[in-house]
Amino acid sequence: MIKLPQEYLDNMKELLKDDFKDYLNVFNDDYTHSLRINTSKISVRDFLKINPFNLTKIPWSDDGFYYDKNDEVSKHPYYYAGLYYIQEASAMLPGLALPIEENDLVLDACAAPGGKSLKLANKLNNTGLLISNDISVSRSQITLKTLETCGIKNAYITAQDINDLNNLDNSFDKILIDAPCSGEAMFRKDPSLIKSWLDKGPDYYQVIQNSIIKKAISLLKPGGMLLYSTCSFSIKENEEVIEYALSLDDKLKVLPINQYDNFMPGITKNTKNCVRLYPHKIKGEGHFVALLQYGEHINTNKINNTIVDKPDIPFFKDIDMSFSNGKFIQRDNRLYFEPNHDLNLKGLRTLRSGLLLGEYKNEKFEPSHSLACALKYNQYKNILNFSLDDNRVIKYLKCETLDVKDKYVDGIVLVCVNKYPLGFGIVNKGILKNKFPSNNRYK
């Protein structure tokens, strides 16, 4: 049994009253295991047709499933193809509860490692713009890998303190703040967080959370919506932060969130419409979720979805992917397709702006791994498809050179498993030079 700090136990007893015993009992069980289908790559229906795992639906999620803990979901080629993302079940609620519409300008303010950003991107359906920001550069690199593998084309990945997002006041239709927090709900899954709770508890985080939500309100357009979430149970990090936000501006109001069995309300007077998820009430580790709206919506011009001609590069003759709502931009020797927007993003530490298509090496265009991930099977002419049981799939994911003489392909090929793209390779005389990125390599 995990040893929980006495102060924490006292707080929880006070909070949960008669339910406290049930809460303690969850520590006798394993934590929950779950994944979410990446609907930018495959519909839930199509995934269920090829599903290799023991999945059961998560009641509040349209695309989330529990899997059996013996399912090796992170070792399956479909994971490397970005068909799903491993995410804790209650952590699926924030992205789901923020009502994203196509063409919205969306900021995920504390985005790394990118799990919730992926859901926002799925809902945008490659329209509008998603800025996935996080204060940490190294954690933002993981967001980059997440969104790249999952084939997201319309995201900027930035690494800034939200308080330094100057020039962006009144800019966003929707903002997600999945705030840094003391992580109380993760104690069962990751007991090492207990030590950091002792060092930096709810009081420490409340100061940061207040400053983040205050800044985020100023970044919202009139009528814009903000979703605030934490994986803490503490009233200090949840209801008190929402009450603080409400005290800043009377244009701010709390909106209701769709209810499911055993969702519990917020605790203070103005937070009854918020949702508390507890591990003894639902199958998940726990979360707090609040949806706020700032003032009334004013009709503003949304981004226009016009189709753009492909770049005049021989490689693109073999690509049958339509490019819309953006422009091709070359920076140094790299070519990007950047989403249209009228935001002033100058000066932001930007790890990725839109879709990196490839780079020029010795005057020759080499397509990028992000382009491979963004392509569908029928969108590239030169396909090298393996069945799931072909042992070359894992060899490819381990970055090995392959013998593909039986496949009769040549040149730059899109390597696929069961018709789902994994990455590029170059075939010469039946030997595949592997272009799968070594830092994504199969382990």
Contact window for ligand SAM (CB under 6 A) among 16-24, 68-76, 112-120, 313-321:
112-120
Burial string for 299-324 (b: 16+ CB within 10 Å, else e) reads eeeebeeeeeebbebebbeebebebb
- Among 64, 82, 113, 421, which residue sits at the site for ligand SAM (rule: CB under 6 A)? 113
Contact window for ligand SAM (CB under 6 A) among 63-71, 108-116, 304-312, 351-359:
108-116
Instruction: Report whether the peptide linkage leading into residue 113 is cis, meaning its omega lies within 30 degrees of zero.
Output: yes
Write out 78-103 in H/E/C secondary structure: HHHCCCEEECCCHHHHHHHHCCCCCC
* Structure letter (DSSP) for residue 32: P
Q: Which is nearer to ligand SAM, 155 or 432 (CB)?
A: 155
Q: Which residues contact 148 (CB under 8 A, 6 or more apart)?
A: 352, 369, 370, 373
Tokens of 304: 């226009």
Which helix (DSSP H) or strand (DSSP E) does residue 359 occupy?
strand 355-361
C-beta of 160: minimal distance to ligand SAM in Å? 7
d(CA 122, CA 128): 12
- Among 92, 109, 226, 384, which residue sits at the site for ligand SAM (rule: CB under 6 A)? 109
Nearest residue (beta carbon) to ligand SAM: 110
Q: Is the Cβ–Cβ distance between 32 and 89 less than 8 Å?
A: yes
115 binds ligand SAM (CB under 6 A): yes
Q: What is the pattern of x (binds ligand SAM, CB under 6 A) and - over residues 187-226? A: ---------------------x---x--------------
Q: Is the Cβ–Cβ distance between 285 and 189 less than 8 Å?
A: yes
C-beta of 177: minimal distance to ligand SAM in Å? 8
- Among 42, 106, 111, 290, which residue sits at the site for ligand SAM (rule: CB under 6 A)? 111
C-beta of 417: minimal distance to ligand SAM in Å? 26
Chain positions 64 to 103 lying near ligand SAM, rule: CB under 6 A, are 91
Q: Which residues contact 380 (CB under 8 A, 6 or more apart)?
A: 318, 319, 320, 414, 421
Angle at Cα 35 formed by Cα 284 and Cα 8, nearest 5°? Answer: 30
- Among 151, 180, 202, 224, which residue sits at the site for ligand SAM (rule: CB under 6 A)? 180
- Among 55, 112, 226, 252, which residue sits at the site for ligand SAM (rule: CB under 6 A)? 112
Contact window for ligand SAM (CB under 6 A) among 160-168, 290-298, 303-311, 350-358:
160-168
Q: Which is nearer to ligand SAM, 288 or 436 (CB)?
A: 288
Q: What is the pattern of x (binds ligand SAM, CB under 6 A) and - over residues 120-159? A: --------------xxx--x--------------------
d(CA 228, CA 226): 6
Q: Which is nearer to ligand SAM, 95 or 339 (CB)?
A: 95
Using CB under 6 A, count the residues that bind ligand SAM.
20
d(CA 237, CA 253): 18
Q: Which is nearer to ligand SAM, 4 or 208 (CB)?
A: 208
Angle at Cα 310 formed by Cα 306 and Cα 315, nearest 5°? Answer: 155
Angle at Cα 152 formed by Cα 286 and Cα 109, nearest 5°? Answer: 50
C-beta of 313: minimal distance to ligand SAM in Å? 35
Nearest to 105 by CA among 123, 126, 131, 134: 131
C-beta of 153: minimal distance to ligand SAM in Å? 19
Q: Which residues bind ligand SAM (CB under 6 A)?
A: 91, 109-116, 134-136, 139, 161-163, 178, 180, 208, 212
